[in-house]
Amino acid sequence: MTVFAIGPIEIDGIAIHSLDPGTTLVVNTFNSQYRLIILLDNSVVLVTGGAAFPDATVVQFTGALAGGTTVRVGWIQVGCKMEMWHGNRRVTSSPVCSIVIERVPVMPVIDHIGP
């Protein structure tokens, strides 16, 4: 059995639905830092950070606000604000400055020898 793991990777944007559960993102905005962990339903994340989430909180992640009310659903994008919902409360971040994929779940790769 072989196991692969990667170190932190900085990116400009990502669709959270493309990430495996357990993936951890660190998102720095103009005013705060957020740590998001993708849960089994990848539109739901565990978030810590900013004034709104001093403790780990499960939220519905909406996406990147590209200005006004335009939302790029399921995305986090440098230069855009993040929108998420905690119950009936809408939380909007300041513009995203950087996104780092800090941890990707380690999945075993089974070596198969023979027919």
Q: What is the pLDDT of residues 76-114, one digit of tens each?
A: 999 999 999 999 999 999 999 999 998 776 654 444 454
Taking alpha carbons only, the member of 56, 39, 52, 41 closest to residue 84 is 52
Is the confidence at residue 24, as pLDDT, over 90? yes
Q: How many Cα atoms occupy the beta-carbon half-sphere of 27 within 13 Å? A: 34
Work out the percent of the chain whose per-residue pLDDT is above 90: 69
Give the predicted TM-score (pTM) of the model. Answer: 0.83
Which sign does the torsion angle of CA 6, 10, 12, 14 carry? positive
Alpha-carbon span 11 to 97, nearest angstrom: 10
